[in-house]
Structure 1
Amino acid sequence: MQIETLQKDMIAAMKAREKNRKDAISSLISAVKKAAIDEGCRDDIREELVDRVILKELKTVKEQIDSCPADRTDLLEEYKYRYDVINEYAPQLLSAEEVEQILKEKFSEVLASGNKGQIMKTVMPELKGKADGKVINQVVAKLCQ
Structure 2
Amino acid sequence: MKTLKSILFGAALLVATSVANAKPNNANFLSKNDVVSVFTNAVIHGNLQNLEQALAKDVEYTIYRGTKTFKLNKQALIDSFKASENIEQSCQYTTSILSDVDKTMVLRLDMKYEGYVRTSTITIKQQGEDWKITKIETQNS
Taking structure 2 as the reference length, what is the TM-score of the superposition? 0.26
Taking structure 1 as the reference length, what is the TM-score of the superposition? 0.25
Structure number with the higher strand fraction is 2
Structure number with the higher helix fraction is 1
